Amino acid sequence: MLHIALGSFVAVFAALFPVINPLGDGPIFLNMVQGCSEGVRKRLARSVAINCFLMLLGSMLIGPQLLLFFGISLPALKLAGGAVVIAMGWNLLNQQGSSDHSTNSPSQITDASASANAFFPLTMPLTVGPGSIATAISLVAAEQDDKDFHILTELPAVIGATSALIALSLVIYLVYRESSGIQRLLGANGTNVLMRLFAFILLAIGVQIFLGGLNGYAVELSKLIPAH
């Protein structure tokens, strides 16, 4: 059980971390909240982290079932999701630097407008966007099969995935809260090296999800071919 939980934790955290890229978003967050006091910045960092956890957890719980409701098969979902994750991993692996996230000067947030901006734009789309939501859905689809979901059987994987989301939210909170100090500590080179590593892991996870979709279609085709 521990092995399954740990594997689920690593898979979810390693896949979502480079897509969300809190180290790259930290300087953007800092720039957007420069007009806020220190206490309000810390409160915004906490609110964003909680919002991200709830959004990602909701995507993993509801997303695959919603797509299946519209008649999208699991192999098709795995193929599409794997292709999205591969594309995101490739783009992250080849981007010029963490500063490429935004070339426009973001609007300033003040103490008076902090609460109104906690979800949009600080949580979405700055921190959690379509890419991270698609990745979360793909990770769940990659582990599903045609059997009914049994909470006791899947409990270790659920615990591992939920723990990964909690850990990721804590990272977002700490990075946003201490964004100025972390930026000085890592520097541009350290941040880019770390992101290249996670981007390569993301690329490999996307290939694995895509191959799972191909395998699912191969199994379906084998059932259609009459045995001789």
Token pair of 20 as six digits: 């969300």
3-state helix, strand and coil shares in percent for the chain, rounded to the nearest 5: 80, 0, 15
Cα–Cα distance for residue pair 160/142, rounded to 1 Å? 15
pLDDT in tens, 73-90: 778 878 888 888 888 788
pLDDT tens digits for 77-136?
788 888 888 887 888 788 765 444 443 444 579 999 999 999 999 999 889 987 788 889
Backbone angles phi, psi at 35, to 5 degrees: -85, 5
Under DSSP, is residue 38 helix (H, G, I), strand (E, B) or coil?
Answer: helix
pTM score of the predicted model: 0.76
* 153 pLDDT higher than 80: no
User: Residues with Cβ < 8 Å from 29, sequence gap 6 or more?
Assistant: 45, 48, 122, 126, 127, 176, 179
Is residue 5 pLDDT above 60, yes or no?
A: yes
Tokens representing residue 41 in the block: 């910045």
